Amino acid sequence: MRGFGDLEAVIMDIMWRRESPATVRQVQQQLTAARPVAYTTVMTVMDNLFQKGYLQRQMTGRAWSYEPSASREQYTAQLMRDALEAAGDQSAALAHFVASMSESQSQMLRWLLRRRSAGGR
């Protein structure tokens, strides 16, 4: 798994913020409020995101309705796992990551680890 391209990231941000599936037209209209983007460009990018597994779709009337395959948090967690697996020295990579955390992030990590050790999820 890798990061998104610029337009992919903007489209995924729109999709993650939505509470319901969206058609290409709905996403294109939302995008053009900030910058002009052709319908066919949005359609191609959303189809690419579908092909890569980031979006799922179903036919609604005559148009595809898209929704994210995973939450933003699940995607972020996968990126973190992939980065750790790619590290030459995972222990050093984790140490650098933890050292860069804020105090509140560090407390959250400790709480999550205690919860995991206690058998909770």
What digits encode the pLDDT tens for the residues 28-51? 999 998 889 999 999 999 999 999
Integer Cα distance of 49 and 44 in angstroms: 9
Burial track 82-99 (b if 16+ CB lie within 10 A, e otherwise) = eeeeeeeeeeeeeeeeee
Please report where in the chains the tokens 């050790």 appear, as a residue: 117
pLDDT in tens, 73-97: 999 999 999 999 999 999 999 999 9
- Output the pLDDT for position 108: 94
- Output the pLDDT for position 3: 79
Mean pLDDT across the chain:
93
Q: If we measure between CA atoms, which residue out of 36, 33, 44 comes closest to residue 5?
A: 44
Q: If we measure between CA atoms, which residue out of 66, 79, 75 comes closest to residue 18?
A: 66
Predicted TM-score (pTM) of this structure: 0.82
